[in-house]
Amino acid sequence: MSFQPVKRDAGNVRQFPAAGQPAVDRPLAAPEPLLPVLIVLHQETSTPGRVGNALRALGHRLDVRRPRFGDPLPETLQGHAGAVIFGGPMSANDPDDFVRREIDWIAVPLLEQRPFLGICLGAQMLAMQLGARVAPHPHGRAEIGYYPIRPTPAGLGICPHWPDHVYHWHREGFELPSGSELLAEGGDFPVQAFRSEHCFGFQFHPDVTYAMMHRWTTRGHARLELPGARPRHQHFADRALYDVAERAWLKRFLDGWLSRVPASVMSEAAE
């Protein structure tokens, strides 16, 4: 059973008066607003997709930054509930200044024990920050479309009921960083999800909406010819089979992800 919040008109509530006293309207104390979530995107037309929708549904505002186009990254995450670095067509091995800055910046959530989530490119950046190697598949294979994943016991402990298949769009993978915990594994790219304290990396794309899938398979149609990639029609056929489970899992994960901050850290942020 779930309970829906009761809306109050104009923030006021009627107080019942004591005997012989006139009725008055007293303002109802507003709840403390939730901290925003930092969103790092890599293209002008990129959106946080389903992850952004889920975070807004939880009550968080989105602080969207695009360092590639000059947006700065905060020196601390004390004013944010967490941070998400999304994917992009570039590589974590690229020498571009914004790529290097983002990888270096991930030290902030690691040191401050703040929730961080890296998706595809963002996960590769987290792996590099932790000292792991990011590289193409040794036989040039790619994961573009839906592929099976297998949660580990650690992954099931973090979030049960993982989807059987998840959506991918990548041709590079990464090693499991030293000291990190493997949460899910796959075939051509064995490390699919991992955790280091409050920081998580997903090689796959739970953020992809139906509209995003249309856009990616149209603009990036050349990548559908890579070894191992699924044909375009199979992306949509598989979405009909696997998307409901992936969407439900993402909602549960994000709720738990933002709840992992120690109470001591949150109290410091409120001071």
The band of 268, judged by pLDDT with boundaries at 50, 70 and 90, is very low
Other beta carbons within 10 Å of 123 = 28
Asked whether the predicted pLDDT for residue 220 surpasses 80, the reply is: yes
pLDDT at 33: 82
Note the helical H segments in the chain. Answer: 49-57, 97-105, 107-112, 121-129, 153-158, 210-219, 232-257, 263-270
Q: State the Cα–Cα distance between residues 239 and 169, nearest whole angstrom.
A: 14
* Residues contacting 244, CB < 8 A, separation 6+: none
Q: Which residue has the tokens 């598989």?
A: 238
State the pLDDT at residue 14.
39
Six-digit token string for 77: 């995450």
Q: What is the total residue count of the chain?
A: 271
3-state secondary structure of 117: strand
Taking Cα atoms as reference points, which of 134, 84, 81 lies closest to residue 105?
A: 84
Q: What is the pTM of this model?
A: 0.84
Residue 19 DSSP symbol: T
Are 148 and 238 in contact, with CB atoms under 8 Å apart? no
Q: Give pLDDT, residue 120.
A: 97
User: What six digits make up the tokens of 61?
Assistant: 């505002």
Nearest to 81 by CA among 46, 42, 55: 55
How many Cβ atoms are within 10 Å of 233's Cβ, its own excluded? Answer: 9
Given a contact cutoff of 8 angstroms between Cβ atoms, the answer to whether 134 and 203 are in contact is no
Virtual torsion, Cα 262, 183, 235, 51, nearest 10 deg: 0
CA distances from 199 to 7, 106, 122, 180, 261 (A): 35, 9, 11, 10, 11
Q: Which of 41, 43, 68 is nearest to 52 (CA)?
A: 41
Cβ pair 23, 34 in contact under 8 A = no
The pLDDT tens digits for 14-68 are: 343 454 555 455 555 556 789 999 999 999 989 999 999 999 999 999 999 999 9
